[in-house]
Amino acid sequence: MRPMENLRDQPAGGDVAATASLPAVMPPAGGPLPGKPAAWLGLAFGFVGCTIFAGSLPATRMAVAAFDPVLLTAARAVIAGLLGIVLLAASRQAWPGARIWARLGLVAAGVVLGFPLFSAYAMRLVPASHGMVFIGLLPLMTAIAAVWRGGERPKPVFWGFAALGGAVVIAYALIQARAEGHATGLQPADLDMLVAVIVCGLGYAEGAVLARQIGSWQVICWALVLSLPVMAAVLAWRWTASGLDLAHVLAAGPGPLLGLGYVSLFSMFIGFFFWYHGLKLGGIARVGQLQLIQSFIGLGLAALILGETIPPAAVLAAVLVVGCIFGARRFA
């Protein structure tokens, strides 16, 4: 196959029909739609990705009730990787060149291995709400990685809005945790979440840069393919070593399997179609600030699906965060 450094969301051989046959959930290939500003389209795609990612920590916490963190990390990567192979084969994508593979390794280290593994360890020890404290740092980490890997140069005011938005999310999460009687001091799981956020921001930025060269959804698919042999071996090892059987998983109720299904199909696969496309269109640092509102999207989903009450403080914090997002967008 010919290398794909210069391809942009195009199938091998320029087969337009192959692209047309892709699933409807996939964002449009190439640039923005005619007559639509790329920046706003980037925010729209990024928002969909954030909405999908908002369920990641709660789903992970459900899954680790039956699966250990290493097994869960490998299982979600293997499931998503097999889906990626099917999609790449169906659309007849060209094989990446050597330089692209090296950079895909960085993406895989951040979003296929790093964040899923370290966040899974953290979710065994603390509630998902505690982990959301560190999610508030993810937009800032993504912006820093955008400067390093993407060559972006946001204005100084941008960094002020980014820091303020992160502070609002962290402050809300700490206040809410204290009100609910959870521990708010530093815990061993905090180091896990901090590492998870750092490597995730790097994986986001590198993936967005690659999306400009090989296409948005192709980035996560090829990163999953790259990691599949190792992850499949780890899955077989952990499954055997843990002595896990289906009866044990079923005895834990539907939660673990539902959690595994969500993080495999949505968090590890579909969410990245939208997220990388949004970062590519709207800018890594700018669209990355949407992650500030991810925690509050999770609260909204809980209210819509589970009938939970949204605290008034959450509404106020969400309004402040939206203001920070638009401020950061203005000065990015």
| Radius of gyration over every alpha carbon of the chain, rounded to an integer in angstroms | 19
> Are the C-beta atoms of residues 206 and 149 closer than 8 Å to each other?
yes
CA atoms within 13 A on the CB side of 290: 28
Q: For the segment 259-306, what is each residue's pLDDT rounded down to a tens digit? A: 999 999 999 999 999 999 999 998 888 888 888 788 778 777 666 655
Q: Which two tokens stand for residue 218?
A: 């192709």
Q: How far apart are CA 263 and CA 81, in angstroms?
A: 13
Q: Is 311 exposed, middle or buried (0-12, 13-18, 19+ CB in 10 A)?
A: middle
Q: Which helix (H) or strand (E) holds 211?
A: helix 188-214
Nearest to 55 by CA among 298, 321, 332: 298
Look up the pTM and report it.
0.78
pLDDT at 90: 97
Q: How far apart are CA 227 and CA 305, in angstroms?
A: 34
Q: For the segment 192-223, what is each residue's pLDDT rounded down to a tens digit? A: 888 998 999 999 999 999 999 999 999 999 99
Q: How far apart are CA 67 and CA 144, in angstroms?
A: 33
pLDDT at 267: 94
Q: Is 216 exposed, middle or buried (0-12, 13-18, 19+ CB in 10 A)?
A: buried
Inter-helix orientation angle 128-135/115-123, to 10°: 140
Q: For the segment 236-246, what is each residue's pLDDT rounded down to a tens digit? A: 999 988 888 77
